[in-house]
Amino acid sequence: MATITGPLSGDARNTVAEALQGALVDLIDLSLVAKQAHWNLVGAHFRPIHRQLDKVTDLARKHMDLIAERSVALGINPDGRSATIARNTKLPQPDGGWLEDGKVVARITETLDGISKRMYERIRITDEPDPVTQDLLIAVAQDIDKQHWMFQAQS
């Protein structure tokens, strides 16, 4: 069996691994939460919010793949299994059933705010050990912040 190694070791590797895994969990669950809201959305503002939730899902999926591939490039195994995501997510989960558009906007705004704060902490802690990972996390934060603004403007 092949072994994948990377340029980091010791504390640097552990710090970066934790940051990447946390980002992966946030992004995978964001894609699930946004899609759940997308499918069950109702209300007068259905159409634009429905479309915006697809954009959130797309950005989460794009970035989660880049984050996971960065992990692998560093010799770190990304863990995107459903049990891992369920056990480690920090995202508030949507209620079951139909979801009123105003409540979805408020919940997604809150969710994106939490992810943004965690991304900024990950950006801070990866500055020294791995600026390449930091750049990826900055790109994630940029897209999350944009969507946060767009949802926040609707509340």
Write the secondary structure of the chain as one string of H (helix), E (strand) and C (coil).
CCCCCCCCCHHHHHHHHHHHHHHHHHHHHHHHHHHHHHHHEECCCHHHHHHHHHHHHHHHHHHHHHHHHHHHHCCCCCCCCHHHHHHHCCCCCCCCCCEEHHHHHHHHHHHHHHHHHHHHHHHHHHCCCCHHHHHHHHHHHHHHHHHHHHHHCCC
pTM for the model stands at 0.97
- 54 within domain boundaries: yes
Q: How many domains does the chain have?
A: 1
* Host domain of residue 146: 10-153
CATH of the domain at 148: 1.20.1260.10
pLDDT score recorded for residue 11: 97
Structural domain includes residue 5: no
Query: Quick check: is 3 in a domain?
Result: no
Is 130 a member of any domain?
yes
Each residue of 50-74: pLDDT tens digit?
Answer: 999 999 999 999 999 999 999 999 9
Q: Per-residue pLDDT tens for 138-149?
A: 999 999 999 999
